[in-house]
Structures are given as structure tokens and as C-alpha cells.
């Protein structure tokens, strides 16, 4: 299942400058999602992180993983568009976060998220971020889908 940014915005409440998933390239309900974000020097975060040495912040990478995980959870639950509009994903914890290589403007940041465990509205996910096939970051994410 491929999704463009318009379809992503039907699921996630985030908007510019905080929508951090540009496209979904693969989604297997209840199992995995592959998506990406194109990192551009024109993003506001680079005005301060860091002006003479731009590095995409790790917290933004984690948020991108979380957003991709939210898409996976919503799509896996087979919610109708009407039901989905009444729900939101809250992240409960981020564990085992590791940053292995910097992400810079011009990089295509690929998110690979897989389900570790799902029980009802609770999801435990393994998140990995890659640039050019090289692992840059990883974390374990826990989320819950709740009513707005």
C-alpha cells in the first residue's frame, strides 16, 4: 500500500512544519510500514540546529518514527474515515533510542517500523531510520490510540 502526503494527512493531525512523513512506500497491516521524509535545508529547524553545521535533530527523527507508527496502527485497525477522525495516537514511551549517524539536509530519511506487540489500543513498535541503506537511528516506541 502506497500513500502520498494527502492520504497521510487524512490519518495524522500534523501539518507543516511538523508533518514528518512525506510518503508511505509499503504497509502490511499489523506488521510493518516503510515510509520516508526528504530532509531539506529550508526546514525551520536548521535555523538553530546548527546554523554553520546543519544536523537534523534526533528528537525529530524519533517523532518521524512515531508518526509512521501512528499510520501503521490506524491502518491496521481498519477504522472507517469517520471513526478515524475521532481518534488520535498518543505516545506513551520511547525506549532504547540510539543515534548512530547524523542526518543532514539533502538526505532521504527512511523509516522502517515493525510491530513488536499489539493488544487492543496499545501498540509496541520497533522503529529504525536509514539514510542510503545505513542505519542512523533506532528506538522502541509504545503508543495508544484514544478518543480525541
Beta strands in 22-121 (DSSP E): 23-28, 32-38, 87-99, 108-119
How far apart CA 73 and CA 32 sit, in angstroms, is 10
How far apart CA 62 and CA 18 sit, in angstroms, is 12
How far apart CA 39 and CA 136 sit, in angstroms, is 14
How far apart CA 6 and CA 9 sit, in angstroms, is 5
Provide the edge-to-edge strand list for the sheet that holds 23-28: 23-28, 32-38, 108-119, 122-131, 134-147, 87-99
What does residue 98 show for φ and ψ, rounded to 5 degrees? -140, 140
Q: Which of 14, 34, 49, 53 is catalytic?
A: 49
Active site residue 34: no
Which of the residues are catalytic? Answer: 49
Amino acid at each position: 500500500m502506497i500513500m502520498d502526503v494527502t492520504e497521510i494527512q487524512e490519518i495524522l493531525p500534523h501539518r507543516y512544519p511538523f508533518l514528518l512523513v512525506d510518503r508511505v512506500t509499503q504497509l502490511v497491516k499489523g506488521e510493518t510500514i516503510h515510509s520516508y521524509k526528504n530532509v531539506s535545508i529550508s526546514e525551520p529547524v536548521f535555523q538553530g540546529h546548527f546554523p554553520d553545521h546543519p544536523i537534523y535533530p534526533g528528537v525529530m527523527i524519533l517523532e518521524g518514527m512515531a508518526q509512521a507508527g501512528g499510520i501503521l496502527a490506524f491502518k491496521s485497525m481498519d477504522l472507517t474515515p469517520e471513526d478515524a477522525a475521532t481518534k488520535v495516537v498518543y505516545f506513551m514511551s520511547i525506549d532504547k533510542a540510539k543515534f548512530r549517524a547524523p542526518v543532514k539536509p539533502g538526505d532521504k530519511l527512511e523509516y522502517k517500523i515493525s510491530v513488536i506487540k499489539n493488544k487492543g489500543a496499545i501498540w509496541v513498535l520497533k522503529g529504525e531510520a536509514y539514510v542510503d541503506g545505513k542505519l542512523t537511528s533506532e528506538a522502541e516506541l509504545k503508543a495508544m490510540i484514544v478518543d480525541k
